[in-house]
Structure 1
Amino acid sequence: MQFDPKSEQLQAVTQKSKSLWGGKTAVVAMGDLLTLAAFSLFPPITNTLVGSCSTEREALAACKDKQPDLLYVTECLEQGYGIPLAVKVKAVSPNTRVLLLLHRENQEVVRDALDAHIDGIAFVSSIGQGFDGDFFKSLEAMADGNTYYPKKVRETAGFKKGLILNELSSRETEVLEALCQGMSNKEIAEVMVVSTETIKSHVSTIISKLGVKDRTQAVIACIRAGI
């Protein structure tokens, strides 16, 4: 893939990313120092950055101290690992949302991320694909407080279709599938031509029926059910 930093598409993504995360803060944790530097210098990231780290210990300390809105992390760090870091960060900074950028597109890593209740996953291979790429879509979803597990990630997880969703109505299942795609309540309401309050009610019912505590866990239950 050719990468043109001056392309119109990339410039448009850059501008929209700035507006998505305006006024928010972020920490970046990546094991490869060149990738860490390049990512940290990307304008939408730079403008929100309160910590740029290569080790699990440094990133955890930065999140505890700064309480950022978002943590970008890769699975492999210079010292430590990204998925255990995500769990620790949730304990010291509960409102920090975690976006895991995966180099390895394999089942084991994706399932580990599901077990850690990570808010969003994007494969590194999706970076540079503009508005249609999972990286931008994950940022857009998480800026609105949603969860993002794209189709490629769900397929990589490899769960066979199960019975866990049988107790949901067809409309509730439809809403849950939309949540998996990172759609907000407003976006789902527009597609289904109902009110936002109706979607909120469906989401609350879904969470209750599945016995989970939030949207992220509901989405993970959906993925484990092979949806």
Structure 2
Amino acid sequence: MANKKVLVCSKNRLTLTALCLCTPILQSLVGGATTEDEALQVQQKNHPDILITSEDLESGYGIRLVEKAKNYSPELKALIFLQRETPEVVQEAMEAGADGVMFISSIGTGDGDFINALSTTNSGGIYYPRSVREAATAKVKSAPVLVDPLSERELDVIRCIIRGMRNIEIADALFISSETVKSHVSTVIQKLGVRDRTQAAVFAMTHGLIEAGI
């Protein structure tokens, strides 16, 4: 988290305070907010690198905040805690651009969701734990007919991205070079017509291109 700026947004003021005082965040904190509009104002003033938000806000909607924040700053890493665990809500959060999705019910389970999410996204990966992936693929959309279908190797790369792996880790796992991984990622983004690797992974999951529960 060194040299990173963090913005935290939550409806629950106690939760907001607890997150702001969390050791990995405290020294990097540039603002805390309870509403969508407040968070966007802080973003435009302080240009944070990481947004952490809950689904429910005092005013506004956490998933919409993620979408607006990412549109304003595509390089922003956005993490969201969801109260609802339905396929529709999980897919909505992913498609809004959330790089990390966690269920509030996972807090305190000992799985380290929050710290894992911070660590993974901070190092360039995405964080969709198994419970989130299973929800996302429980109700897939109609699979598109691609003019140029993804190859099996490209699907392998997508599977690795979904697991939060960085390019160097994907290269090691698939016994290929990092440059080849970059080439595959670029090709996948082009074939699917999405904006980045996160959205390529989301598209593959929500449209059934990747097997459920991977």
Q: TM-score range by the shorter chain?
A: 0.7 to 0.9
TM-superposed CA distance for 1:92, in Å, is 2.8
Asked whether the equivalents of residues 78 and 97 of structure 2 are also in contact (C-alpha less than 8 Å), the reply is no
Asked whether the equivalents of residues 189 and 196 of structure 1 are also in contact (C-alpha less than 8 Å), the reply is yes
TM-superposed CA distance for 1:149, in Å, is 2.1
Aligned twin of 2:30: 50
TM-superposed CA distance for 1:127, in Å, is 3.4
The residue identity in structure 2 corresponding to 1:113 is A
Aligned twin of 2:199: 217
Asked whether the equivalents of residues 70 and 97 of structure 2 are also in contact (C-alpha less than 8 Å), the reply is no
What SS does the aligned partner of 2:161 have?
helix
Q: Which of 103, 106, 119 pairs up with 2:86?
A: 106
What SS does the aligned partner of 1:146 have?
coil
Indicate yes or no: 2:180 matched with 1:198: yes
Give the alignment's Cα RMSD to 1 decimal. Answer: 2.0
Separation (CA, whole Å) in 2 of partners of 1:69 and 1:96: 5
Asked whether the equivalents of residues 54 and 80 of structure 2 are also in contact (C-alpha less than 8 Å), the reply is yes
Separation (CA, whole Å) in 2 of partners of 1:108 and 1:203: 26
What SS does the aligned partner of 2:78 have?
strand
What SS does the aligned partner of 1:51 have?
strand
Identity %: 47
Aligned residues: 206
What SS does the aligned partner of 1:213 have?
coil
TM-superposed CA distance for 1:128, in Å, is 4.2
Larger mean CA deviation between 209-218 and 181-190 belongs to: 209-218
Aligned twin of 1:142: 121
The residue identity in structure 1 corresponding to 2:63 is I
Separation (CA, whole Å) in 1 of partners of 2:105 and 2:194: 31
Larger mean CA deviation between 26-35 and 87-96 belongs to: 87-96
**TM-score of the two chains, using structure 2 as the length reference:** 0.88
Q: Which of 71, 74, 80 pairs up with 1:91?
A: 71
Aligned twin of 1:80: 60
TM-superposed CA distance for 1:88, in Å, is 1.7
Aligned twin of 1:121: 101
Aligned twin of 2:132: 153
TM-superposed CA distance for 1:209, in Å, is 1.5
Asked whether the equivalents of residues 138 and 182 of structure 1 are also in contact (C-alpha less than 8 Å), the reply is no
The residue identity in structure 1 corresponding to 2:204 is C
Distance change >3 Å, CA 92–CA 129, structure 1 → 2: same
Separation (CA, whole Å) in 2 of partners of 1:169 and 1:162: 19
TM-superposed CA distance for 1:151, in Å, is 2.3
TM-superposed CA distance for 1:110, in Å, is 1.0
Q: Deviations over 1:143-189 (max 9, x none)?
A: 12332222211211223486448811111111101101111001111
What SS does the aligned partner of 1:99 have?
strand
Asked whether the equivalents of residues 7 and 30 of structure 2 are also in contact (C-alpha less than 8 Å), the reply is yes
**TM-score of the two chains, using structure 1 as the length reference:** 0.83
What SS does the aligned partner of 1:159 have?
coil
Distance change >3 Å, CA 161–CA 105, structure 1 → 2: closer
What SS does the aligned partner of 2:185 have?
helix
